[in-house]
Each structure stands twice: as structure tokens, then as C-alpha cells.
Amino acid sequence: MTPPLRESDSKIQRLQSLVREKVDSLLRCPSGRKGRATREALSKLKPHVDAQLEALETLDWLRDLTDEELERQRMFTMLLCVVKQDEYK
């Protein structure tokens, strides 16, 4: 069963806020700890990003995604690519 659209939008907005929060935190992080902090932040974001990509995929089966949803999908996919690259280092 798919969550109502408003609930899905709310989760996406929370994820976007979480991503911004992590990026802001990384920008303030001392350079000597930045690499480790980045890996930690990415690993914490990954499950949330996976869930939202899955929700967008489900939504795409029900109807065409809006331009905004497509942009979110691209952003989340790029973020996952960065996470996966970091996992292989």
C-alpha cells in the first residue's frame, strides 16, 4: 500500500532538510576530520535516500512524476552514487 502523497512529500522534505543539515555540519567540520565525518554522514543518509527513491519509483508506476519529483529522483540517485563510491574506497 502506498502512503498518501502528502505524507510522501513530508518525508521527502524531511530528507532534504536532513541532507542540508549534514552538509552544513560538514562545512563546519575541521579539515582533519572531514573525511571520516563525510563517510559517517553518507552512511546515515543512505537508508533514508533508498526509501525515498523507492517511494518515487512506486509513485512513477501510478502516474508520471512531476518535474520536481524527477529532479528529486536525480538528486537522490547522485547522492547514492557518491555513497557507493565512498564505500569502495
C-alpha cell at position 29: 567540520
Residues 29 and 9: their CA atoms lie apart, in Å, by 30
Task: Tell me, yes or no, if the pTM score tops 0.95.
Answer: no
Residues 77 and 54: their CA atoms lie apart, in Å, by 11
Give residue 82's domain range.
5-87
Number of domains making up the chain: 1
pLDDT band at 66 (very low <50, low <70, confident <90, very high): very high
For residue 11, give the nearest of 56, 42, 43 by alpha carbon.
56
What pLDDT, in 10s, does the model give residues 1-58?
Answer: 445 555 667 777 788 788 888 888 888 888 888 888 888 888 888 888 888 899 899 9
pLDDT band at 88 (very low <50, low <70, confident <90, very high): low
